[in-house]
Structure 1
Amino acid sequence: MDEEINIIEIQSEYERIDGEWLILHFKASVGLVIFTFLIECIISGVLYNLGEINTSISFYIMKYVLVPVVTNVSLIIIGYLAINSSRLKHNVKIYIVSLLLSAICFIVFSVHSIFISVYMIFTIPILFTVVYGDYILTTITALCSILAKTFSECFIIWNPIKFNIIDSHMRLINFIISICFLLAFYAVCIVVIYFERGKNAVSLQRELERFKLQQRLHNDELTSINNRTALRKAFQSMEEDISGSVYIFVMIDIDNFKLLNDTWGHAKGDLILSEFGEILKINCANAMPFRFGGDEFCIIFKNQTLNIVIETCESIQNDFKEMVADNNLNEQLTVSFGIARYSHGMTATQILKNADSALYSAKTIKDAIHIYEDLVECQT
């Protein structure tokens, strides 16, 4: 179960990174639209000064600046609405932004395809999909980019001086070369995704191995709850906490446990300890249970009231009695608790001493819950 939770946490981290890249992906689309608009303005000014514009300047600006920028801004708005939509799944948003970038490149290429340098603009939407590590996404984006480029070359003549690829052998050759280049670029991207996914798989496996090792180091083998090593680490975190959080420490001891071992043997005793560990896990959803050693356990409560701590201890007592009855044990097995409050600046030794003192008082009665006197004073 813990391993599944860890895998979910890692996958959530991957999704978070994909989400950050999606925002950057969208911003790159916005940047491309702004950059294209600025270049179009500069080119318009240069061509006007050189006397290369054969139509009215207003018509030229309308056709080569305003129409493409308005179209691209419309696509950006669609992308923005998609990213901020609560109805769309994360993967759907990724596909929309990826294909919108291809559409923006299609607009830019169709308007300015007389410039040979614009031929490679379709590598941009393909490249931006690599980080997601999705073969299908990269393939669909590459296919749409190639089809958009082909459609533009064959059917769209935005600029009157553009030669159709059927009428110009040189343009046909350039077109074929550019398509081959896009295919080669797509193939390289697929290879990169393959190795990136392999590297991520290795990283995930190593993270799981590290998690399992940490579990072995901090979990008690018999009861599957935190061990003393984990308790020392928890004490260290508690001592370093300067946030003003309230900690209550509880020591637990199973009454008459030695009699159980002497009568039924250690195998039965281990079974009872293991089942008691399950009881602690069930009742300590908002606390950290530990096995201190032998039949002694402890719990650290953070920012919980004394009443909640006492209710938890009583619930553990009741569940333990039911478990003892289910195992048909005649011995008077009960659970005693000693409760103490942690004060900032207090050492781990002191909090243990206080809780142990309260536990000692509880064990003189057995099946009791005793509170260290300074915590009683704090509550009155």
Structure 2
Amino acid sequence: MLNYESDIANIGVPADAAEIIARAKELDEKSVFLEGLSERLNFLGVSCTPNDRELMLEEVKARYRTVLGISCPRTVVEWVRGTVPSASKRRNNYELCMALEMDFEQTADFFKRYFLTLPWGCKSRIDAVFLYCIYHRKPYSLATKMLEESKDFILQENAHTATAQIFQTILSTDDDAAFMDYLSAHCYGNEQQFQTARAKIIEETDLAKQHILAEDYNGKLSPERLNSAVIAALLNYRYQPDRDSEFLHELPKRYTESLPNDVTLGKILKGEKTSYETLRKTLILLKLYNFYTDAVNDDESIQSNYSDFYAELNSVLDNCGFAPIWLDHPFDHIILSCANTLDPIVTLYDVNERN
């Protein structure tokens, strides 16, 4: 099982931005998913290592046929061949867990450790169906039937049932018809699924703008430019770098992808559809900037501030339905490494200037 508290002890104090980047690049090249897959297959009696990709692929394909009764999707095939898994189409993630015969707790652990995201976002129709079926040990055939029957359910955009309440109701409902009735009344779109996260990002963005305006001694910043100023304050550049720039070649892909920019920040603030990764990274960057803009950081307070930041950030991520900080993720590793320096904001700026 995960022990996130060990991150505080294991992060170490980086010498400089170059060391932070080097370690993050090592993590980016490390196939966390394949480590988890080989671990699970060994548990199921298939002797393999993360390097035995063809052997693992053969076993995964066989399990899709025998356990689920379907062909292994191309997306999952590419995961086993080395592509970093995405959680954007979560049905693939849940189906793989079912093919590997994971129970409720094992699925949750696999999502956190190897998909680097949280399961059971039960305001989503797909998550809710798989939560119901995996928790109550229903067959995959029922999950596909429920997904097909619920695909035309009307999104309840004006309902505001708490995610935790929906989660507990699904766990306590072991009746297929009753679950489908409940799902039809609690089916939400993307904008509804991360309401708490969006509200927190808006709150943190407003705080960041206050910090920025406090430094705008000449009063040159207009309201229209404040979102750009926030991005500059978070990352030390105004716009998302060009994909062909040296910046993106030097920094790990899992750090640079889905970073916020003017456009995505504007979408978040307007309540428009934004990816899970962008929401999570935006919130983390805002927390780092606001926390250390207010904190007094010196040689004696670095560790206590770092511990406070770590605890506060993980609490916020949990409340918003996001995965906690995890050292094996290059983005999270860079953020924690910067937080463990004398000037975390400047250190992050140094990281982003490696071009």
**TM-score when scaled to structure 2?**
0.26
Q: Which has the higher strand share?
A: 1
Indicate the structure (1 or 2) with the bigger Cα radius of gyration: 1
Q: Which has the higher helix share?
A: 1
Taking CA–CA contacts closer than 8 Å with sequence separation of 6 or more, which of the two structures ends up with the larger relative contact order?
2
**TM-score when scaled to structure 1?**
0.25
